[in-house]
A and B are shown apart, each in its own frame.
Chain A
Amino acid sequence: MTTQPYDKQVASDIIAGFNARPEMLVQVLVAFVERFGWITDAAIRQLAAELNLSRADVHGVVSYYHDFRTSPPGKHVVKICEAEACQSMGSRELSKHAQKSLGVAMHESNDDVTLEPVYCLGNCACSPAIMVDGKTFGRVSTNRFDEIVASMDETR
């Protein structure tokens, strides 16, 4: 994923892009994760100040949503769909395979990769499905999983 380290000025520009309206907090956080990869403490402080909210308010929203990560992800984010349609096509085995071949447990990261479950990618007619760095893949056998992972970064 092409993210950059947290930067106060960039963050300020994103907030200004939403006219610093407190009701845009969820949208601003989505944009922060997209840009910086995760939500830092500094981001929470800055959001509280610039949106005129309490830090507890911002923290409450950040902790509610699964997507608002509060620790840095690996260079790539791999999500395995673990919802029912994908279960019916072997997602449980795929998750096991992914943990073994990537060398990280579900919900965990190393420098290279973050592995997370996701509950439905809307690709249930091509189960099992995964998402790698924001791109959805379908009919993912363990072999195809290895190919996708191998191609996500030529320098691996």
Chain B
Amino acid sequence: MAATRIYVPRETAAISVGADEVAIAIARHAKESGEKIEIIRNGSWGATWLEPMVEVVVDDKRIAYGNIEPADIPDLFKSGLLTGGKHAKRVGPTDEIPYLINQDRWTFWRCGLIDPLSIDDFTAHQGFTAVSKAFKSGPQPVIDMIKTSGLRGRGGAAFPAGIKWQTVADTDAEQKYITCNADEGDSGTFSDRILMESDPLALIEGMMIAGFAVGASRGYIYLRAEYPLTYSILMRAIVAAREAGWLGNDIQGSGFDFDVDVHLGAGSYVCGEETAMLESLEGKAGVVRYRPPLPAIEGLFGKPTIVNNVITLASVPNIVNLGGEKYAAYGVNRSTGTLAFQLAGNIKRGGLVEKAFGLTLREIIEDWGGGTASGRPIRAVQVGGPLGAYIPEDQLDTPLDYEAFLDIGAMLGHGGIVVFDDTVDMAQQARFAMEFCAIESCGKCTPCRIGSVRGVEIIDRMIADENRDENHELLLELCDTMEHASLCAMGGLTPLPVRSVLKYFAEDFAPSQEPQK
């Protein structure tokens, strides 16, 4: 009898709650009971709330079991795990889990499905078909497809990818670079990580296509140091791609040379800002550069450089495979396509939800997230990382669309959604926004470096209820200064969460007073 295949994720979140121990327990139990099994370490489907999620293949169908602990294994085997048997922790067939099947999986469709490190599994699921198609079509049609798709950068600033690519393609230089921003510093975000751990070759294929389109032969992935498992998976994927002739010189006889290196960050949030990232890639302190010149014209080592987020690049292969129009058909207004939303913090069903733009924040929090983990009412939702606004309950019906968020003084950013229940002290959250800016400022400009420290002091005085109105005014003025005189969005957007707290949650600043009605 053939061995029964069992999938156990090798992905940071799953492992952080015991997936490795579960894999070991399954292997040990099977050995002791003489069952023939094969354990495949896939990535994650992104239903993080079910992790560790174990899947058993029964008649070519994958049956999922959720929140498995090593202690469950003997009982699971007794219940007929290997034949998909009934058990309290049986979720059902993976392809019937509502959380997953109601998504629009354009970029993440192979995540969880395949063995991330198997070139065979990747190519059996359309891997490298897009880059092969690009080789045949030539560079400009690829750039045109990206323009047609309307794809905007997923790192936060939402700049159109096609325009950036065109600039680099049109700039003459002997050497150009593709740099992938995998610094993913925003709290509440992990989509880059899940993609890189679950389908690293998709990112590599996206970078190759970018390189081919603009005439660059070298790629760098700038990966944050907090992701050690991601690092080892990426390195193994790169080696596998090289061995299979999908990286290196004259790739698959196309005449195109391309290779990728991974560089690690060292715990600096600002190094996610693109010019600071370039400085760091050059071995220097991550101090933000003045612009112009744009990185697309003078970037890494002064050469034309694409800086794109992981998700931007990983969305490219399917755009090339299926066409820009197909991608543009998803979404609303100028927010075309899909975004990998990440449900985080105080949420019952946290995880990754790739959806077309346009549904509301409330829909995603309630329909996917199931409300708070604590069961208490939602008080505030921070969207878009530490530089994003805190959104009050009565604005949850805002559609998830870049421009609709700008209209309410918020931002979508990298798609992180962090939920807080009614026990949150919003004055502390405003204070943290300033404190974080003070900790992470690159130090180049005064409003950010000094302003943030002042901000903490002013908020402390407000919390202590000293000259409340005067300090409130002072804080607003400080926000103005930071917004207008900061070189980058670190200092420029820190006022966003602070202002949102002042506007919607001002009562938290003076707990000694009666709440104002």
Residues of A within 8 A of B (CB): 21-27, 29-30, 33, 60-61, 64-68, 83-89, 118-127, 129, 131, 134, 136-139
Known: A24-B283, A67-B225. A125 touches B49 (CB 8 A): yes
Instruction: Please determine whether B263 and A27 come into contact, CB atoms closer than 8 angstroms.
Output: yes
5 A–B contacts from the bound complex (CB under 8 Å):
A26-B280, A64-B285, A84-B188, A123-B12, A125-B344
Number of interface residues of B (CB under 8 A): 63
Residues of chain A contacted by B186 (CB below 8 angstroms): 120
Apart from A67-B267, A124-B189, list 7 A-B contacts with CB within 8 A: A21-B283, A26-B265, A87-B432, A119-B386, A122-B12, A125-B351, A136-B16
Instruction: Please determine whether A26 and B418 come into contact, CB atoms closer than 8 angstroms.
Output: no
Bound Cα distance from A129 to B344, whole angstroms? 12
Instruction: Please determine whether B436 and A125 come into contact, CB atoms closer than 8 angstroms.
Output: no
**Highest count of chain B CB atoms <10 Å: which of A24, A60, A64, A65:** A64
Residues of chain B contacted by A120 (CB below 8 angstroms): 184-189, 226
Which chain A residue lies CB-closest to B287?
Answer: A64
Instruction: Please determine whether B283 and A25 come into contact, CB atoms closer than 8 angstroms.
Output: yes
Q: Tell yes or no: B312 within 8 A of A by CB.
A: no
- Residue in A64, A118, A124 whose CB lies within 8 Å of B350: A124
Instruction: Please determine whether A127 and B344 come into contact, CB atoms closer than 8 angstroms.
Output: yes
Bound Cα distance from A83 to B280, whole angstroms? 23
| Nearest CB in chain A: distance from B225 CB, A | 6
Known: A67-B266, A118-B267. A125 touches B13 (CB 8 A): yes
Instruction: Please determine whether B266 and A124 come into contact, CB atoms closer than 8 angstroms.
Output: no
Known: A84-B382, A125-B48, A126-B16. A66 touches B185 (CB 8 A): no
Instruction: Please determine whether B187 and A85 come into contact, CB atoms closer than 8 angstroms.
Output: yes
| Nearest CB in chain B: distance from A90 CB, A | 9
Instruction: Please determine whether A30 and B266 come into contact, CB atoms closer than 8 angstroms.
Output: yes
Known: A64-B268, A66-B267, A137-B16. A23 touches B226 (CB 8 A): no
Residues of chain B contacted by A33 (CB below 8 angstroms): 266
Bound Cα distance from A139 to B16, whole angstroms? 8
Which chain B residue lies CB-closest to A131?
Answer: B226
Which chain A residue lies CB-closest to B379?
Answer: A88
Bound Cα distance from A24 to B301, whole angstroms? 13
| Nearest CB in chain B: distance from A145 CB, A | 13
Bound Cα distance from A27 to B266, whole angstroms? 9
Residues of chain B contacted by A124 (CB below 8 angstroms): 187-190, 342, 344-345, 350, 416, 418
Bound Cα distance from A119 to B436, whole angstroms? 9
Residues of chain A contacted by B189 (CB below 8 angstroms): 120, 122, 124
Bound Cα distance from A22 to B284, whole angstroms? 9
Bound Cα distance from A119 to B266, whole angstroms? 12
Instruction: Please determine whether B284 and A122 come into contact, CB atoms closer than 8 angstroms.
Output: no
Bound Cα distance from A72 to B510, whole angstroms? 42
Bound Cα distance from A88 to B266, whole angstroms? 25
Q: Tell yes or no: B24 within 8 A of A by CB.
A: no
Q: Tell yes or no: B257 within 8 A of A by CB.
A: no
Instruction: Please determine whether A83 and B187 come into contact, CB atoms closer than 8 angstroms.
Output: yes
Q: Tell yes or no: B346 within 8 A of A by CB.
A: yes
Instruction: Please determine whether A122 and B266 come into contact, CB atoms closer than 8 angstroms.
Output: no
Instruction: Please determine whether A66 and B13 come into contact, CB atoms closer than 8 angstroms.
Output: no
- Residue in A22, A23, A66, A121 whose CB lies within 8 Å of B266: A66
- Residue in B192, B265, B343 whose CB lies within 8 Å of A125: B343
Instruction: Please determine whether A85 and B17 come into contact, CB atoms closer than 8 angstroms.
Output: no
Q: Tell yes or no: B478 within 8 A of A by CB.
A: no
Q: Tell yes or no: B193 within 8 A of A by CB.
A: yes
Residues of chain A contacted by B268 (CB below 8 angstroms): 64-66
Known: A25-B284, A26-B263. A122 touches B193 (CB 8 A): yes
Please tell me which stretch of B77-85, B394-402, B419-427 contacts chain A, meaning at least 4 of its Cβ atoms lie within 8 angstroms of it.
B419-427
Residues of chain A contacted by B439 (CB below 8 angstroms): 119
Residues of chain A contacted by B421 (CB below 8 angstroms): 88
Bound Cα distance from A33 to B264, whole angstroms? 12
